[in-house]
Chain A
Amino acid sequence: MINIKIILLIPLVLLIIFFLPRLRNKTFYRLSLIGVSAVGIVFVLFPGLTDQLAHLVGVGRGADLVTYIFIVFFFMAGIILYSKIRKLEADQTELIRKITLQRAEKLNQP
């Protein structure tokens, strides 16, 4: 059982090491990253806790609870990413429009 714990812990630790320094000035994302990773590490080390938590909220097994929460997070991440992409698209459009207007050509004007 030690092995699977190590395999699961490595990406969680790497997540913190790599992304925490990059998310400068993004307190919300930093805190949620720390939170999610910390919870993940605790559950990996003490899987029994998920079962207790599952019983508390009326779910049969801890693994099921983790799956449900994962699905919710997955969709939330999708929506956040989607709105980020739209924002990027809007910025890109503004940029290209500025360039276009600066370079507007009057062809063959009398």
Chain B
Amino acid sequence: MVFFNKNKYFAQVNLFKYPPSSVFVIVPSFNEGKVIRNTVSPLVEQGYSVVVVDDCSTDDTKKALHGLPIHYLHHVMNLGQGAALQTGLEYACQSGAEYAVTFDADGQHNVLEIPALLEPVVEGRADISMGTRFKRREDIAQVPPFRKLILKGAILVNGLLTGLWLTDAHNGFRAMNRKAMCSIHLRENRMAHASEILSQIKNNKLRYEEVPVKIIYSEYSQMKGQSSMNSINILIDLLLKKIT
């Protein structure tokens, strides 16, 4: 384990004009005990304020985080990733965070890409920036073919339902300023929140930008991540929401 590095901290302050501790990185986690430490440690090293939202994991998630300087939030009942994200956003908002980044617990995002993702937000061009794996050729090549097909379908559904036509759907890597983190209120507890964020961006008139990111398709994240079949469940959730 690498410890908190002061020199690195100051280097970042000068380089990016914001202290990394003002960036709250929200990591919703459900039964990610095996990998959570590998995901969280590099975030801590970079000096970010890490908020782990433990969605009532039944494994040793809390033990795995032992000794790391983090904010630990624990749902007393399993509610779903959308609910965990919302809890993290509210916590960041009330803790006075300058910026919030949402980061998947399974290690599919790259810590070193956070500054690039934050850039449009810090520079004031956008209230929220969203990672996309469909901008750079080398990122597109990484996406497994069947996953690509499902994602393209999701992009189409999101576009039709929300009117926001993005190049990626269900990318959990996002960065936002206070305005966005405090005005987004996710009510979809489960996976349909990824589309719900889009409709809230639209309704709250938030400015957004897409930033190319690399998704690391490890064997673990492939296995733990959503099965493609779950996209059908998400679609049904979205349609039901339109009705009720």
* A interface residues (Cβ-Cβ under 8 A, vs B): 79, 82-83, 86, 89-90, 92-93, 96-97, 99-101, 103-110
Contacts and interface: CB of A to CB of B under 8 A. Distances in A.
Interface string B58-86: 00000001011111111111010001001
Interface of B: 4, 53, 65, 67-77, 79, 83, 86-87, 90-91, 94, 187, 189, 240, 243-244
A107 B75 contact: no
A105 B95 CA distance: 12
19 contacts: A79-B244, A82-B244, A83-B244, A89-B189, A93-B83, A97-B86, A100-B74, A100-B87, A101-B73, A103-B74, A104-B72, A104-B73, A105-B71, A105-B72, A105-B73, A106-B71, A106-B72, A107-B71, A109-B69
A108 B53 CA distance: 16
A110 B69 CA distance: 7
Contacts of B69: 107-110
B67 A108 contact: yes
A97 B90 contact: yes
A103 B72 CA distance: 9
Nearest to A87: B244
Nearest to B187: A90
Contact of A104 (B71, B77, B240): B71
